[in-house]
Structure 1
Amino acid sequence: MGGAVEGPQQLRAAVRERVERGVDVIKVMGSGGVNTPGTDVARCQFTLDELRLVVDAAHAAGLPVTVHAHALAAVEQALDAGADGIEHCTCLTADGVRITDALLERLARQGTTVCPTLGKTAQAVPPPQVQTVMDRFGLSMEERQRAAARMHRAGVRLVSGADSGINAGKPHGIVPAAVAGLAAGGVPADAALATAMSLAADACGIADRKGRLRRGLDADLLVVRGDPLTDMTALADPLAVLVSGAWAHGPG
């Protein structure tokens, strides 16, 4: 579903093709990617007019847009373009990470959903290209966790995702670690849990069916061993999973 494009005509065609394929969201690389050779995480990939074209075309088709943005300039560009969400939101500059109170206020005011993509296995060793970026900007997972907690305190809408499958340290099924990462950074446990439940359902446009225990919604339930409000590791130890009223794992 991905692809490389250049210029307004190709951007319009890319959005149109994905609409025709029935996608639920348009994701665009606003900055370079850590795992994408030949790109720069500290620079924008498109002009503001080009990014606005993507957002406007997607919105005209009834689809939300989320922007991959490591660079602060790309985060600001996504806000200027009216994107619905931002992935990573690392806010890198030539001098390191720069997250101002004014930026946080704007993220909160515009209602932009931010996915910090935390979470990794306990034994994870950053691949060489990831370590290079971390060294270049003085990044650490602990700093990213604290930055996400600062966003939460500023009223920014957070959801949990983990870039699952991008490398060996981020396998599929690592979302519990992303939630735990928010709590480790200072987000209250109940608020951290909501980023993978009700707030995630809101962001995905399925809050009329998912994300909450409420009459009339799908009967989805995760039963864990322990209390995640006091011990987030309980999320990684499920006893049973109920999906739309049917046991997918456990006592059914």
Structure 2
Amino acid sequence: MKRLLQVMEGCMNSKKQANLHHVSVSGEAASADKAAAEKFPMMLNEIIDKGGYTPQQIFNIDKTGLFWKKIPDRMYISHKEKTMPRFKVAKNRLKLLPSGNCSGDTKLNSLLEHRAGNPQALKNITKLSLPVIWMANKKAWVILAVFDNSFFHHFFPEVKLYCRENNIPFKILLILDNGPGHPLYLDDFHLDVQVVYLPPNTTSLIQPMDQDVIANLKKYYSLSKYRQVLTEINDADVILRDFWKGYYIYNCVKNIDAAWREVSN
């Protein structure tokens, strides 16, 4: 039952014990509040004990960026990409919000945020049939309205159904970071849904989904994408042309679904 807390504490301890030399730290890790991150697991432990939550009732949602057409720079296909006429380096980015519970026995459909509401590749495909929650945002970033829609119309009913099907009392503890896209009023939405926000500047240290879950999701996505290339194309001279012309956002969605299924409990 204490697995989530052990992961958080273990992450902090591993950072303390690491003997690193000549390492330049920047970004979120450089500005992280280690003191607040060390205190939070105990605070969370008290909330879990007081509410009587089980690992199946503790959920986490996190966001991450995915360069869905990106090819590693060292690959031959990447070098050829730069020499192609009228071709721009593939850095198409979208946002993903994977979510699941502490026990790992349920992974909800990820929210996918794309710049276009109706891309040509999905012209004849119903959005509700996709294995992701499709949301459109020109800035490709999670804003309040997008998260609200996802929470009220997808997360809440899906978790409620999961509890009913597994004979689990519907009382949920949802862990979120304190980003601008997460409204502070969610805790008032339902008496049986308690929302706990990570302290500011601690997500790089103790965000549950950052403990290999998102990293593995991206690795499996890349693996699924490369498998598609090797399966469909044999001649190295046409790999680049056929791959980039035929790899649309619908292929990306299917590979995200395949990757999310591969992530283990």
TM over 0.5: no
- Max radius of gyration: which structure? 2
TM superposition score category, shorter chain reference? under 0.3
Tell me the TM-score normalized by structure 1: 0.25
Higher relative contact order (CA 8 A, sep 6+): 2
Tell me the TM-score normalized by structure 2: 0.24
